[in-house]
Protein backbone atom coordinates (compact mmCIF):
# COMPACT_ATOMS: atom_id res chain seq x y z
CA UNK A 1 0.00 0.00 0.00
CA UNK A 2 1.20 3.53 -0.76
CA UNK A 3 1.36 5.53 2.49
CA UNK A 4 1.83 9.25 3.06
CA UNK A 5 3.09 10.03 6.57
CA UNK A 6 2.57 13.67 7.49
CA UNK A 7 5.32 15.34 9.48
CA UNK A 8 8.72 14.01 10.51
CA UNK A 9 8.10 14.52 14.22
CA UNK A 10 8.20 12.16 17.16
CA UNK A 11 4.99 10.28 16.32
CA UNK A 12 5.43 10.13 12.56
CA UNK A 13 8.99 8.81 12.34
CA UNK A 14 8.33 5.45 14.05
CA UNK A 15 5.12 5.02 12.07
CA UNK A 16 6.88 5.60 8.75
CA UNK A 17 9.73 3.27 9.65
CA UNK A 18 7.49 0.38 10.67
CA UNK A 19 5.21 0.74 7.65
CA UNK A 20 8.28 0.56 5.42
CA UNK A 21 9.51 -2.50 7.33
CA UNK A 22 6.15 -4.17 6.70
CA UNK A 23 6.61 -3.74 2.96
CA UNK A 24 4.53 -0.65 2.25
CA UNK A 25 5.68 2.19 0.01
CA UNK A 26 6.16 5.17 2.35
CA UNK A 27 6.71 8.88 1.81
CA UNK A 28 7.24 11.10 4.85
CA UNK A 29 6.67 14.79 4.24
CA UNK A 30 7.49 17.82 6.38
CA UNK A 31 7.46 21.58 6.11
CA UNK A 32 10.99 21.77 7.49
CA UNK A 33 14.24 20.83 5.80
CA UNK A 34 16.12 17.94 7.36
CA UNK A 35 18.87 20.35 8.46
CA UNK A 36 16.37 22.07 10.78
CA UNK A 37 15.97 18.94 12.92
CA UNK A 38 18.19 18.01 15.86
CA UNK A 39 21.19 15.90 14.90
CA UNK A 40 19.81 12.66 16.36
CA UNK A 41 16.53 13.12 14.45
CA UNK A 42 18.48 13.80 11.26
CA UNK A 43 20.31 10.50 11.80
CA UNK A 44 17.01 8.71 12.27
CA UNK A 45 15.57 10.17 9.06
CA UNK A 46 18.72 9.33 7.08
CA UNK A 47 18.61 5.74 8.38
CA UNK A 48 14.96 5.47 7.34
CA UNK A 49 15.82 6.78 3.88
CA UNK A 50 18.50 4.10 3.52
CA UNK A 51 15.89 1.49 4.45
CA UNK A 52 13.54 2.69 1.72
CA UNK A 53 11.42 5.53 3.13
CA UNK A 54 11.23 8.46 0.72
CA UNK A 55 11.91 11.83 2.39
CA UNK A 56 9.88 14.75 1.08
CA UNK A 57 11.33 17.57 3.16
CA UNK A 58 10.87 21.33 3.02
CA UNK A 59 7.62 20.84 1.11
CA UNK A 60 5.16 23.62 1.95
CA UNK A 61 2.38 22.16 -0.20
CA UNK A 62 2.53 18.34 -0.31
CA UNK A 63 0.11 16.49 -2.56
CA UNK A 64 -2.09 13.52 -1.57
CA UNK A 65 -2.30 12.28 -5.14
CA UNK A 66 -1.10 8.72 -5.73
CA UNK A 67 -1.50 7.61 -2.11
CA UNK A 68 -3.92 5.04 -0.73
CA UNK A 69 -3.51 5.71 2.99
CA UNK A 70 -2.15 8.38 5.31
CA UNK A 71 -0.96 8.82 8.87
CA UNK A 72 -1.44 12.17 10.60
CA UNK A 73 0.15 12.90 14.00
CA UNK A 74 -2.21 14.09 16.76
CA UNK A 75 -0.37 17.42 16.84
CA UNK A 76 -1.37 18.28 13.25
CA UNK A 77 -3.77 21.26 13.37
CA UNK A 78 -7.11 20.69 11.64
CA UNK A 79 -6.56 24.03 9.90
CA UNK A 80 -3.33 22.89 8.25
CA UNK A 81 -3.67 22.81 4.42
CA UNK A 82 -2.54 19.15 4.27
CA UNK A 83 -5.18 18.23 6.87
CA UNK A 84 -7.86 19.81 4.70
CA UNK A 85 -6.57 17.98 1.61
CA UNK A 86 -6.77 14.67 3.48
CA UNK A 87 -10.27 15.47 4.73
CA UNK A 88 -11.41 16.13 1.16
CA UNK A 89 -9.82 12.92 -0.14
CA UNK A 90 -10.85 9.27 0.12
CA UNK A 91 -7.57 8.21 1.73
CA UNK A 92 -7.68 5.62 4.48
CA UNK A 93 -6.45 7.29 7.69
CA UNK A 94 -4.25 5.07 9.87
CA UNK A 95 -5.09 5.65 13.55
CA UNK A 96 -2.80 5.24 16.55
CA UNK A 97 -5.00 2.32 17.65
CA UNK A 98 -4.44 0.51 14.35
CA UNK A 99 -0.74 1.24 14.36
CA UNK A 100 -0.45 0.02 17.95
CA UNK A 101 -2.07 -3.28 17.01
CA UNK A 102 0.46 -3.65 14.18
CA UNK A 103 3.27 -3.24 16.70
CA UNK A 104 1.66 -5.62 19.17
CA UNK A 105 1.36 -8.36 16.54
CA UNK A 106 5.12 -8.16 15.95
CA UNK A 107 6.04 -8.78 19.61
CA UNK A 108 5.58 -12.49 20.39
CA UNK A 109 6.67 -12.36 24.05
CA UNK A 110 5.16 -11.01 27.27
CA UNK A 111 5.48 -7.23 27.67
CA UNK A 112 6.08 -5.48 30.98
CA UNK A 113 5.18 -1.79 30.72
CA UNK A 114 6.35 0.86 33.21
CA UNK A 115 5.10 4.43 33.36
CA UNK A 116 4.88 7.34 35.79
CA UNK A 117 6.01 10.93 36.12
CA UNK A 118 9.15 10.13 38.11
CA UNK A 119 11.14 6.94 38.47
CA UNK A 120 10.05 5.07 35.35
CA UNK A 121 13.54 5.03 33.82
CA UNK A 122 15.16 3.88 37.05
CA UNK A 123 12.46 1.27 37.67
CA UNK A 124 12.77 -0.05 34.11
CA UNK A 125 16.53 -0.38 34.53
CA UNK A 126 16.25 -2.20 37.87
CA UNK A 127 13.45 -4.48 36.62
CA UNK A 128 15.60 -5.40 33.65
CA UNK A 129 18.49 -6.22 36.01
CA UNK A 130 16.27 -8.52 38.10
CA UNK A 131 15.02 -10.47 35.10
CA UNK A 132 18.50 -10.78 33.61
CA UNK A 133 19.76 -12.16 36.91
CA UNK A 134 16.95 -14.73 36.75
CA UNK A 135 18.23 -15.90 33.37
CA UNK A 136 15.80 -14.15 31.03
CA UNK A 137 16.94 -12.83 27.67
CA UNK A 138 15.50 -9.34 28.08
CA UNK A 139 14.66 -6.83 25.36
CA UNK A 140 14.62 -3.56 27.29
CA UNK A 141 13.62 -0.17 25.86
CA UNK A 142 13.98 2.99 27.92
CA UNK A 143 14.98 6.62 27.62
CA UNK A 144 18.48 5.62 28.71
CA UNK A 145 18.89 4.15 25.23
CA UNK A 146 16.69 6.56 23.28
CA UNK A 147 14.75 9.46 24.78
CA UNK A 148 11.95 8.64 22.32
CA UNK A 149 11.07 5.15 23.49
CA UNK A 150 8.60 4.58 20.65
CA UNK A 151 11.50 4.88 18.20
CA UNK A 152 13.55 2.45 20.31
CA UNK A 153 10.72 -0.09 20.21
CA UNK A 154 10.33 0.17 16.43
CA UNK A 155 14.12 -0.01 16.03
CA UNK A 156 14.10 -3.24 18.04
CA UNK A 157 11.40 -4.74 15.84
CA UNK A 158 13.20 -3.77 12.64
CA UNK A 159 16.50 -5.20 13.93
CA UNK A 160 15.00 -8.48 15.16
CA UNK A 161 15.20 -7.92 18.92
CA UNK A 162 11.49 -8.69 19.34
CA UNK A 163 12.10 -12.18 17.98
CA UNK A 164 15.30 -12.79 19.94
CA UNK A 165 14.17 -12.39 23.55
CA UNK A 166 12.20 -14.09 26.32
CA UNK A 167 10.50 -10.98 27.64
CA UNK A 168 10.13 -7.29 26.70
CA UNK A 169 10.44 -4.60 29.37
CA UNK A 170 9.38 -1.16 28.15
CA UNK A 171 9.50 2.24 29.77
CA UNK A 172 6.34 3.93 28.49
CA UNK A 173 6.35 7.75 28.69
CA UNK A 174 3.06 9.52 28.00
CA UNK A 175 3.98 10.18 24.36
CA UNK A 176 4.73 6.52 23.70
CA UNK A 177 1.51 5.47 25.44
CA UNK A 178 -0.41 7.88 23.21
CA UNK A 179 1.01 6.26 20.09
CA UNK A 180 1.04 2.64 21.32
CA UNK A 181 -2.28 2.58 23.12
CA UNK A 182 -3.40 -0.95 22.20
CA UNK A 183 -0.50 -3.13 23.32
CA UNK A 184 -1.22 -6.34 25.19
CA UNK A 185 0.66 -5.70 28.43
CA UNK A 186 1.22 -8.75 30.61
CA UNK A 187 2.09 -6.60 33.60
CA UNK A 188 1.88 -2.83 33.96
CA UNK A 189 3.38 -0.62 36.66
CA UNK A 190 2.67 3.00 37.61
CA UNK A 191 5.34 4.69 39.72
CA UNK A 192 3.43 7.92 40.48
CA UNK A 193 1.59 10.81 38.83
CA UNK A 194 2.80 14.34 39.58
CA UNK A 195 2.07 17.71 38.03
CA UNK A 196 4.39 17.77 35.05
CA UNK A 197 3.94 17.93 31.27
CA UNK A 198 0.61 19.69 31.90
CA UNK A 199 1.40 22.25 29.19
CA UNK A 200 1.01 19.34 26.74
CA UNK A 201 -2.46 18.58 28.13
CA UNK A 202 -3.96 22.05 28.16
CA UNK A 203 -2.98 22.49 31.78
CA UNK A 204 -5.25 19.62 32.87
CA UNK A 205 -3.92 17.17 35.48
CA UNK A 206 -6.99 15.01 34.84
CA UNK A 207 -6.11 14.61 31.14
CA UNK A 208 -2.52 13.78 32.05
CA UNK A 209 -3.74 11.16 34.53
CA UNK A 210 -6.03 9.68 31.89
CA UNK A 211 -3.09 9.27 29.53
CA UNK A 212 -1.09 7.45 32.18
CA UNK A 213 -4.07 5.23 33.00
CA UNK A 214 -4.16 3.94 29.42
CA UNK A 215 -1.50 1.54 30.68
CA UNK A 216 -3.92 0.19 33.30
CA UNK A 217 -6.50 -0.52 30.59
CA UNK A 218 -3.90 -2.41 28.52
CA UNK A 219 -2.53 -4.48 31.41
CA UNK A 220 -3.51 -7.99 32.44
CA UNK A 221 -1.96 -7.40 35.89
CA UNK A 222 -1.48 -3.88 37.26
CA UNK A 223 0.79 -2.66 40.06
CA UNK A 224 0.90 0.92 41.32
CA UNK A 225 2.56 3.08 43.94
CA UNK A 226 0.21 3.46 46.91
CA UNK A 227 0.13 7.23 46.27
CA UNK A 228 -1.93 6.45 43.14
CA UNK A 229 -4.58 4.36 44.93
CA UNK A 230 -7.22 7.10 44.74
CA UNK A 231 -7.14 7.18 40.92
CA UNK A 232 -6.58 3.44 40.42
CA UNK A 233 -9.05 1.87 42.87
CA UNK A 234 -12.24 3.21 41.21
CA UNK A 235 -11.10 1.65 37.91
CA UNK A 236 -9.46 -1.53 39.08
CA UNK A 237 -10.27 -3.57 42.17
CA UNK A 238 -7.55 -6.15 41.58
CA UNK A 239 -4.60 -3.73 41.43
CA UNK A 240 -1.58 -4.43 43.62
CA UNK A 241 0.22 -1.65 45.52
CA UNK A 242 3.76 -1.01 46.72
CA UNK A 243 5.34 1.62 48.98
CA UNK A 244 7.97 2.28 51.61
CA UNK A 245 6.81 1.89 55.21
CA UNK A 246 3.12 1.42 54.41
CA UNK A 247 0.81 -1.56 54.84
CA UNK A 248 0.50 -2.59 51.19
CA UNK A 249 0.97 -5.68 49.01
CA UNK A 250 4.72 -5.01 48.68
CA UNK A 251 6.18 -3.09 51.62
CA UNK A 252 9.75 -1.84 51.58
CA UNK A 253 11.73 -0.90 54.67
CA UNK A 254 15.09 0.84 54.48
CA UNK A 255 17.82 -0.37 56.82
CA UNK A 256 21.48 0.43 57.26
CA UNK A 257 22.77 -0.44 53.79
CA UNK A 258 19.91 -2.90 53.37
CA UNK A 259 16.41 -3.12 51.96
CA UNK A 260 13.68 -5.40 53.32
CA UNK A 261 10.63 -6.28 51.21
CA UNK A 262 7.54 -7.87 52.74
CA UNK A 263 4.90 -9.48 50.50
CA UNK A 264 2.08 -12.00 51.01
CA UNK A 265 3.36 -14.26 53.84
CA UNK A 266 7.02 -13.89 52.96
CA UNK A 267 9.86 -11.37 53.12
CA UNK A 268 13.53 -10.96 52.35
CA UNK A 269 16.35 -8.57 53.19
CA UNK A 270 19.03 -7.69 50.68
CA UNK A 271 22.24 -5.70 51.02
CA UNK A 272 21.68 -2.39 49.25
CA UNK A 273 24.32 0.25 48.57
CA UNK A 274 22.37 2.89 46.66
CA UNK A 275 20.84 6.15 47.85
CA UNK A 276 17.62 8.19 47.87
CA UNK A 277 14.87 7.25 45.41
CA UNK A 278 16.51 3.97 44.38
CA UNK A 279 14.92 2.33 47.42
CA UNK A 280 11.29 2.82 46.38
CA UNK A 281 12.02 2.08 42.74
CA UNK A 282 13.69 -1.18 43.78
CA UNK A 283 10.56 -2.13 45.70
CA UNK A 284 8.54 -1.43 42.53
CA UNK A 285 10.86 -3.57 40.38
CA UNK A 286 10.78 -6.36 42.96
CA UNK A 287 6.98 -6.26 43.02
CA UNK A 288 6.91 -6.78 39.25
CA UNK A 289 9.48 -9.58 39.35
CA UNK A 290 7.88 -11.42 42.27
CA UNK A 291 4.41 -11.20 40.73
CA UNK A 292 5.74 -12.52 37.43
CA UNK A 293 7.43 -15.44 39.17
CA UNK A 294 11.08 -14.47 39.62
CA UNK A 295 12.64 -16.14 42.67
CA UNK A 296 13.53 -13.90 45.60
CA UNK A 297 17.08 -15.33 45.60
CA UNK A 298 17.63 -13.86 42.11
CA UNK A 299 16.22 -10.52 43.25
CA UNK A 300 18.57 -10.48 46.25
CA UNK A 301 21.56 -11.28 44.04
CA UNK A 302 20.66 -8.54 41.54
CA UNK A 303 19.99 -5.82 44.14
CA UNK A 304 23.17 -6.73 46.02
CA UNK A 305 25.16 -5.99 42.86
CA UNK A 306 23.09 -2.98 41.77
CA UNK A 307 25.33 0.09 41.36
CA UNK A 308 22.86 2.60 39.98
CA UNK A 309 22.42 3.95 36.48
CA UNK A 310 23.83 6.81 34.45
CA UNK A 311 22.95 10.35 35.59
CA UNK A 312 20.69 9.20 38.42
CA UNK A 313 22.58 10.22 41.57
CA UNK A 314 25.66 9.21 39.60
CA UNK A 315 29.08 9.87 41.08
CA UNK A 316 31.16 10.77 38.00
CA UNK A 317 34.41 11.24 39.86
CA UNK A 318 36.61 13.48 41.95
CA UNK A 319 37.78 16.71 40.31
CA UNK A 320 40.31 18.79 42.22
CA UNK A 321 39.07 17.37 45.51
CA UNK A 322 35.38 17.90 44.67
CA UNK A 323 32.99 14.97 44.30
CA UNK A 324 30.72 15.52 41.27
CA UNK A 325 27.20 14.06 41.28
CA UNK A 326 24.91 14.12 38.22
CA UNK A 327 21.22 13.73 38.92
CA UNK A 328 18.33 13.99 36.47
CA UNK A 329 15.79 15.03 39.13
CA UNK A 330 13.74 18.01 37.99
CA UNK A 331 10.32 17.73 39.64
CA UNK A 332 9.71 19.11 43.12
CA UNK A 333 9.49 15.76 44.97
CA UNK A 334 12.49 14.23 43.22
CA UNK A 335 14.64 17.33 43.74
CA UNK A 336 13.66 17.46 47.40
CA UNK A 337 14.78 13.84 47.91
CA UNK A 338 18.16 14.62 46.34
CA UNK A 339 18.65 17.89 48.23
CA UNK A 340 17.67 16.22 51.51
CA UNK A 341 20.31 13.57 50.90
CA UNK A 342 23.05 16.22 50.62
CA UNK A 343 21.67 18.64 53.24
CA UNK A 344 24.66 18.18 55.57
CA UNK A 345 27.22 18.65 52.79
CA UNK A 346 28.80 21.79 51.36
CA UNK A 347 27.17 21.94 47.92
CA UNK A 348 27.60 23.97 44.75
CA UNK A 349 24.53 23.33 42.58
CA UNK A 350 24.27 23.83 38.83
CA UNK A 351 20.93 23.65 37.08
CA UNK A 352 19.57 23.11 33.57
CA UNK A 353 17.07 25.28 31.78
CA UNK A 354 13.89 23.70 33.16
CA UNK A 355 11.67 23.97 30.07
CA UNK A 356 11.84 21.13 27.53
CA UNK A 357 8.74 20.13 25.58
CA UNK A 358 6.91 21.05 28.80
CA UNK A 359 6.93 24.52 30.35
CA UNK A 360 7.71 24.25 34.06
CA UNK A 361 7.45 26.44 37.14
CA UNK A 362 10.95 27.85 37.50
CA UNK A 363 10.06 29.91 40.58
CA UNK A 364 9.03 26.71 42.37
CA UNK A 365 12.55 25.36 41.77
CA UNK A 366 14.09 28.48 43.31
CA UNK A 367 11.74 28.39 46.28
CA UNK A 368 12.66 24.76 46.96
CA UNK A 369 16.39 25.43 46.74
CA UNK A 370 15.98 28.32 49.22
CA UNK A 371 15.25 25.79 51.96
CA UNK A 372 18.85 24.51 51.87
CA UNK A 373 22.13 26.17 52.82
CA UNK A 374 23.73 25.65 49.41
CA UNK A 375 26.88 27.70 48.78
CA UNK A 376 26.17 28.70 45.19
CA UNK A 377 23.48 28.07 42.58
CA UNK A 378 24.49 28.39 38.93
CA UNK A 379 21.57 28.38 36.48
CA UNK A 380 21.81 27.82 32.72
CA UNK A 381 19.74 29.88 30.30
CA UNK A 382 20.10 27.68 27.21
CA UNK A 383 16.90 26.00 26.00
CA UNK A 384 17.86 22.75 24.24
CA UNK A 385 14.46 22.51 22.52
CA UNK A 386 14.45 25.96 20.93
CA UNK A 387 18.27 26.09 20.77
CA UNK A 388 18.11 29.63 22.12
CA UNK A 389 19.60 31.40 25.12
CA UNK A 390 16.75 32.46 27.41
CA UNK A 391 18.43 34.11 30.37
CA UNK A 392 15.07 35.11 31.80
CA UNK A 393 14.39 31.44 32.57
CA UNK A 394 17.60 31.16 34.57
CA UNK A 395 16.88 34.46 36.28
CA UNK A 396 13.38 33.32 37.24
CA UNK A 397 14.90 30.46 39.24
CA UNK A 398 17.50 32.70 40.87
CA UNK A 399 15.04 35.48 41.73
CA UNK A 400 12.93 32.99 43.67
CA UNK A 401 15.91 32.00 45.85
CA UNK A 402 15.49 34.11 48.99
CA UNK A 403 18.05 32.37 51.22
CA UNK A 404 20.69 35.10 51.81
CA UNK A 405 23.43 32.48 52.30
CA UNK A 406 23.17 31.32 48.68
CA UNK A 407 25.25 33.02 46.00
CA UNK A 408 23.38 33.15 42.66
CA UNK A 409 24.90 33.06 39.17
CA UNK A 410 23.25 32.95 35.72
CA UNK A 411 25.23 31.66 32.72
CA UNK A 412 24.52 31.05 29.04
CA UNK A 413 24.62 27.24 28.92
CA UNK A 414 25.14 24.05 30.91
CA UNK A 415 28.76 23.62 29.79
CA UNK A 416 29.68 27.02 31.23
CA UNK A 417 27.65 26.21 34.35
CA UNK A 418 29.68 23.03 34.91
CA UNK A 419 32.93 24.92 34.31
CA UNK A 420 32.05 27.72 36.75
CA UNK A 421 31.27 25.31 39.61
CA UNK A 422 35.02 25.17 40.31
CA UNK A 423 35.18 28.95 40.70
CA UNK A 424 32.66 28.82 43.53
CA UNK A 425 33.74 25.59 45.25
CA UNK A 426 36.68 24.29 47.20
CA UNK A 427 38.15 20.82 47.90
CA UNK A 428 35.76 18.77 49.99
CA UNK A 429 32.65 20.31 48.40
CA UNK A 430 29.98 18.44 46.48
CA UNK A 431 29.30 19.68 42.93
CA UNK A 432 25.72 18.65 42.20
CA UNK A 433 23.82 18.82 38.93
CA UNK A 434 20.04 18.66 38.65
CA UNK A 435 17.58 19.32 35.84
CA UNK A 436 15.51 17.77 33.03
CA UNK A 437 17.93 17.92 30.11
CA UNK A 438 19.63 14.62 30.96
CA UNK A 439 16.23 12.94 30.79
CA UNK A 440 15.39 14.83 27.58
CA UNK A 441 18.72 14.27 25.77
CA UNK A 442 21.14 12.33 27.97
CA UNK A 443 24.06 11.83 25.58
CA UNK A 444 24.29 15.46 24.42
CA UNK A 445 23.75 16.93 27.87
CA UNK A 446 26.22 14.69 29.71
CA UNK A 447 28.83 15.33 27.01
CA UNK A 448 28.48 19.10 27.52
CA UNK A 449 28.64 18.74 31.29
CA UNK A 450 31.77 16.58 31.17
CA UNK A 451 33.48 19.06 28.83
CA UNK A 452 32.62 21.86 31.25
CA UNK A 453 33.97 19.90 34.22
CA UNK A 454 37.25 19.22 32.40
CA UNK A 455 37.65 22.90 31.49
CA UNK A 456 36.76 24.11 34.96
CA UNK A 457 39.06 21.71 36.76
CA UNK A 458 41.99 23.00 34.68
CA UNK A 459 40.97 26.66 34.66
CA UNK A 460 40.54 26.92 38.43
CA UNK A 461 43.21 24.41 39.42
Task: Give the pLDDT score at 28.
Answer: 98
pLDDT at 313: 79
CA dihedral 179, 181, 187, 189 (to 10 degrees): 70
Q: What pLDDT sits at residue 209? A: 87
Q: For every one of its 461 residues, what pLDDT tens digit does the chain have, with 9 covering 90 and above?
A: 999 999 999 999 999 999 999 999 999 999 999 999 888 889 999 999 999 999 999 999 999 999 999 999 988 999 999 999 999 999 999 999 999 999 999 999 999 999 998 889 889 999 999 999 999 999 999 877 666 899 999 999 999 999 999 999 999 998 899 999 999 999 999 999 876 656 677 778 888 889 899 999 999 999 999 999 999 999 999 999 999 999 999 999 999 889 999 999 999 999 987 766 689 999 999 999 999 999 999 999 999 988 776 667 788 999 999 999 998 888 787 888 889 889 999 999 999 998 887 788 899 999 999 999 999 999 999 988 788 899 999 999 999 999 999 999 999 999 999 999 999 999 999 999 999 887 677 778 889 999 999 999 999 97
In 79-146, the DSSP E strands lie at 92-94, 110-115, 138-141
Can you give the pLDDT at residue 368?
A: 94
- Give the pLDDT of residue 300: 96
* In contact, 90 and 165? CB cutoff 8 Å: no
List Cα–Cα distances, 380 to 250, 312, 321, in angstroms: 40, 20, 24
User: What pLDDT does residue 197 have?
Assistant: 58
Structural domains present in the chain:
2-94 (3.40.50.720), 100-305 (3.40.1190.10), 314-459 (3.90.190.20)
pLDDT of residue 118: 85
Q: What's the pLDDT at 75?
A: 87
pLDDT of residue 328: 83
Q: What is the pLDDT of residue 319?
A: 95
User: d(Cα 451, Cα 415) in Å, to the nearest integer?
Assistant: 7
Give dist(CA 161, CA 30) in Å, integer. 30
Q: How many Cα atoms are found within 13 Å in the side-chain-facing hemisphere of 193?
A: 23
Q: How far is CA 231 from the centre of its chain?
A: 22
Amino acid sequence: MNYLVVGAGNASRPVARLLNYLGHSVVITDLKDISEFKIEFQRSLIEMEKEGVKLDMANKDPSVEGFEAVYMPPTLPETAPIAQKIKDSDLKVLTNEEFSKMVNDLIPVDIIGITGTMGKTTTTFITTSLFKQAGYNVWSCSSLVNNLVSEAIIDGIVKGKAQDCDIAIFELPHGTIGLLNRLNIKMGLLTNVAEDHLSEFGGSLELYQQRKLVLEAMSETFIANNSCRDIIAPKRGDALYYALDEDVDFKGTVGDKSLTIEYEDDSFTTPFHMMSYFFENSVAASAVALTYGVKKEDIIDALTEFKGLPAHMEDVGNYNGRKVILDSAFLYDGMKITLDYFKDESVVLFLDHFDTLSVRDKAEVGELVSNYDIKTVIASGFNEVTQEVEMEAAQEILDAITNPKIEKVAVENIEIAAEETFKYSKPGDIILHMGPLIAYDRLTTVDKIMKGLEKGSKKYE
